[in-house]
Amino acid sequence: MGCLPTFKYPSKKKSFYAQEQEREDVIEKRKDFIDSVENIDPSDIIVIDESGANLGMVTDYSRAIGGDRAKAPKPFDKGGQFSIIGAISMTGIVAMMYVELSVNADIFLGYIEQLLLPKIKPGQYVIERQVNHWFDQ
């Protein structure tokens, strides 16, 4: 037996959430949101998401045998940037775009106007989690 006491429950990593979720105004907003969407047919929802990467990205951590230091090449050049914007629904991909740039407001609006809007039907809802992000740049 070690010098530390044994507890009934083993130590586990915590799952954190935003403390603001406990505020009354946030609880009320979440309730209002749920009430506003509960009658929407899920097949009428389209969700937009964006992902991007830099081609010069590499991880700084690795594993090596016997505690030796792992060695790997890393590009000196920063590499090119690419981004993908996609809109999906329950039936599949609605509109997708690949660009070899970082997305900004002009690119995002072009995606909306040229690729997404022509494919949206009346009564469908489009969700983009951080639309203000594109216009802060």
Q: Give me the pLDDT at residue 2, please.
A: 60
User: Which residue has better confidence, 99 or 1?
Assistant: 99
**Are the C-beta atoms of residues 55 and 12 closer than 8 Å to each other?**
no
Report the C-alpha gap between 118 and 61 in whole angstroms: 45
Q: Is the pTM of this model over 0.85?
A: no
Residue extents of the structural domains in the chain: 40-57+67-135
The pLDDT-based confidence of 133 (bands split at 50, 70, 90) is low
Question: pLDDT tens digit string along 46-63?
Answer: 999 998 888 777 788 888
pLDDT, position 1: 52
At the second CATH level, the architecture of 40-57+67-135 is 2-Layer Sandwich (3.30)
Whether 48 contacts 89, CB under 8 Å: no
Mean pLDDT, the chain, integer: 85
E-state strands within 1-137: 45-54, 81-89, 92-99, 125-128
Q: What angle do CA 26, 40, 117 make, to 5 degrees?
A: 100
CB 127, CB 48: distance < 8 Å: yes
DSSP assignment letter at 19: G
